[in-house]
Structure 1
Amino acid sequence: MPKIVHSRTSPGNRPVPRIAGFFRRTLVTLVAASCLASPTFAQENPVVIGVSSRSFNPGFSNMWIGIPLGLYGDKIAPSAVGTQGAAENLQLMLSGQVTMSTGTQDVILNAAAEGRRLPVVMPCVYLRGLIHRVSVAPDSEIRSYADLKGKRIGVPTLAYGGVGYLNFATHHVGLSVDDFQLVAVGDGQQAAAALASGEVDALVNADVDVARIQKLGVPLRVVEPPESLQGVASAYVFAFSKPWFEGHKDQAAELLKGMIRAIVVMLENPEAAVRISYFMHPEAIPSGISFDKAVADAVETINIRAPAIEREVGGSNRWCDFPDQGWESFAKMLGIDGKVDPRDFYTDELIAAVNDINEPELRKWARELQVPEGEVAIKSWLAVQKPPL
């Protein structure tokens, strides 16, 4: 592991747990939850989408906007619930309280690398790209990843998924995990303060988080990744409990199709997606700025992330598809190559069904959506929408 330094900006100045310890505690809980799964799945529970966050950030509003827009058709009627993160999301799925979890791949695969194979199947990779960024102050001497040697690098938490990316990417320029220090600095303003004060020399954040920090008035320069990372992609998945999946493949296909339709709508008309999202979750509207500014900022977030969630990404032109080479690189990025093959959890058996959607007409319909003003008007407007499925 890289050398770990605890940031002064960590909540309460408490020590941050080591990554290995975090995953071990998570695995114990998940294994216990998986033991409870079989009795629960004997019942016909409602279809529930588990979101690995409780913020309901419109930047990933595809997780819930498809519900009021009717994008799931008349065969299923899903709901979406927020969770505290990937570990809780996966735990709820294994105990039967969530039907499909999102973004839980790191926990699933790290569990397998620890020798605990969870009863999970991943039939769809919905985000295929490198979303993590190394950013520095504009006048920083750091011009390449090789320049990170001997530097202090700020991350949101030591369990942050970008740590694996950093280790993988710096290996491509001849660095080891002992060549730099990690500092837990939090997100947003905390991270910006750590960089501005010199507490850290660089930050590792997701693409959308870099944009948020810049909107705080903090100038950042993104360091270009090594050329050898061209074509390498992270894999963010939709996952199901295997017992449920084996008995409900038709429902799983319909759920995935609805989710893909929601992605199409969000990409084609991000403003409509944001306005619907804020209607559904007004608690997510940021304070201190106008509503129009909040919408514009969220639209920019979607546009930043869009290249990684389009249909044609990473050598594939089918929704949910992920090539063998992509899985091999992703395993190396997570540091689990030689311990587990992610393809043991992945199946492409539903891809043909999932891609059987009226995409051209759906894109046209999405572009024409105009969300009205006001809660009552939006509710009435949603009730009459008839998307081409």
Structure 2
Amino acid sequence: MIDRRHFNLGLGGLAAVWAAGVSAQGRKVFRGANSVGIVDAQQCFITCGRHPKLRYFEQEGVELDFVNMSSANQAMVGIARGQAEFGSLAPGVYLPAIAKEPQLGIIAVYNWLPRNANVVVVKPDSPVKTIKDLAGKRIGIRNQGDGGVFALQTMYGELGVKTSDINFIAVGDSGVAGTALTQGNVDAIVTYDTAAARIEAVGMPLRYLDLPPNYARLGAGWMGIRRKDLKEDRKAVVGFFRAVAKSTLFAHTNLGEAINIHWALYPETKSKNKSDAESRQEIELILGRRKDNWIRRPDDPDQRWGASSLEEWQQIVAITARSTANPQLPQQLGDLGNVFTNELIDEVNAFDKAAVVRQAQEFRST
């Protein structure tokens, strides 16, 4: 059994030290603004790098922690206010916020979901065949601050459907959300791949609607940090995201062991109401929907971990401008160097990827 105290560094007695951003060992702590509100094995793509046989974060002189948030918007605000050092940015939330408040001081530095992980699901027997058919329908989302709101608005923008024709209804997660759909309280749910898989995991079948073609080619998640940290602690930021890249490659190569590591590090995140076999079956279904979205498409011309492209961001801005009925958004944002940067990416990728793959293939946690 792994000594969890070694990893959490005595969180109870060192809360003030962690809050100051430095661990007891002198390593900079990167607190993640966790917009889904819970730490579970979905995060194994990043947490696995903390295993003592891997030590990806420790080798870079950094540590990982999480701060639970209730929505994508709260997570972004949490980063800006210094309550977290990094977090996933939903473009539909992030871009309008930067346009309105350039002084927010956040910039996207690492594309952690280079494939589109947003999904729109309906009951298998639903008469709805396409996303266009959802105009005027009731759309389920996790909560009113959820990124699904902006995802569907963005899809509607590409399809030329009025965003005023959306009636969003908060339905929560997992079985609660699935029940809302099966009982006809909503006509569809817009969410992430993993959240839809949680509905399927409790025995509620879904049908996935095709995403609009241009939107389907876009990434779904970027990790953002404060510009201040990029300027003042660049080495630690590079090291942190290099550890993230290594961890993600490990998890994609050997998902089963990444899950084992997560549960060993965070035993309280394992279900108390299910057997180990049931828990594993559930999380493998969920992450089976997600794992390929961690890596770049084979035809992506830029295979670097975390890289973005100007063309992709230009498309995202244009679609967001249409979906938010703000044609001035590109002008308000100005130079997209204010929105994202690739300046860390070459350094982040300065590691032996083949060695990480071999390590993952040979790894045994027990």
TM superposition score normalised by structure 2: 0.82
Map 1:1-389 onto structure 2 (within 5 A): 46-52=28-34, 53-68=36-51, 69-85=54-70, 86-87=72-73, 89-96=75-82, 98=84, 100-106=85-91, 108-234=94-220, 236-312=221-297, 314-334=300-320, 335=324, 337-338=329-330, 339-340=332-333, 342-372=336-366
- 2:230 corresponds to which letter in structure 1? F
Kindly indicate whether the alpha-carbon contact (under 8 Å) linking 1:134 and 1:202 is maintained by their aligned counterparts in 2. yes
CA shift for structure 1 position 318:
0.8
Residues 49, 367 of structure 1: CA spacing in aligned structure 2 closer, same or farther, 3 A cutoff?
farther
The CA distance in 2 between the partners of 1:203 and 1:121, in whole Å, is 30
Gaps of 5+ in 2: 1-19
Cα distance change of structure 1 residues 145 and 316 upon mapping to structure 2, 3 Å threshold: same
Report deviation, 1:92.
5.0
3-state DSSP of counterpart to 2:159? coil
Instruction: After superposition, give the CA deviation of every residue in 1:322-368 in whole Å (9 maximum; x if it has no partner).
Output: 11121122224544642325541322111111111110111111111
The residue number in structure 2 matching 1:19 is: none
What is the CA-CA distance between 1:119 and the residue it aligns to?
2.0
Structure 1 residues 112-165: Cα deviation after superposition (integer angstroms, max 9, x where no partner): 222342223332111122212111111111111121123111111222112112
Distance 1:152-1:263 versus aligned 2 partners, 3 A rule: same
Deviations 1:214-267 (A, max 9, x none): 121112111112334342333x22333222221222221111111110111111
Rate the CA distance shift 1:118–1:217 in 2: closer, same or farther, 3 A: same
Inter-CA distance 343–129: structure 2 relative to 1 (3 Å threshold): farther
Show the counterpart of 1:34: none
The CA deviation at 1:371 is: 1.7
Cα pair 1:51 1:101 within 8 Å, conserved: yes
Give the AA of the match of 1:65: C
Cα distance in 1, alignment partners of residues 31 and 119 from structure 2? 28
1:191–1:332 Cα change, 3 Å = farther
Structure 2 Cα separation of the partners of residues 268 and 138 of structure 1: 32
The residue type equivalent to 1:257 in the other structure is R
Task: Give the whole-Å Cα distance in 2 for the aligned partners of 1:89 and 1:226.
Answer: 27
Distance change in 2, residues 1:229/1:81 (3 Å): closer
Amino acid aligned to 2:48: I
1:312 to 1:370, Cα distance in 2 relative to 1, 3 A: same
Counterpart of 1:46, as a letter, is K
Contact kept, 8 Å, 1:232 with 1:326, in 2: the verdict is yes
Choose 127-136 or 78-87, whichever is displaced more: 78-87
Structure 1 162/343 Cα, relative in aligned 2: closer, same or farther at 3 Å? farther
Determine the C-alpha separation between the residues in 1 that align with 2:234 and 2:257: 31
Q: 1:276-332 CA deviation, whole Å, 9 max, x = no partner?
A: 111111121123321122123223322311222114475431111111121122224
Aligned pair count reads: 330
* Structure 2 counterpart SS, 1:289: coil
Q: Please tell me the root mean square deviation across aligned C-alpha atoms, in Å.
A: 2.6
Counterparts in 2 of 1:333 and 1:288: CA distance versus 1, 3 Å:
farther
Task: Check conservation: 1:245, 1:252, Cα contact below 8 A.
Answer: yes
Identity %: 22
2-structure distance, mates of 1:54, 1:232: 25
Q: CA deviation at 1:208?
A: 1.1
**1:216/1:96 CA distance change after superposition, 3 Å:** closer
Task: Kindly indicate whether the alpha-carbon contact (under 8 Å) linking 1:266 and 1:272 is maintained by their aligned counterparts in 2.
Answer: yes
* Partner Cα separation in structure 2 for residue 271 and residue 179 of structure 1: 43
Report the more deviating stretch, 166-175 or 332-341. Answer: 332-341
Asked if structure 2 preserves the Cα contact closer than 8 Å seen for 1:60 and 1:302, the reply is no
Matched residues in 2 for 1:311 and 1:144: separation?
26
2:33–2:78 contact (8 Å) kept in structure 1: no
Q: Answer yes or no: is the 8 Å Cα contact 2:124–2:207 preserved in 1.
A: yes
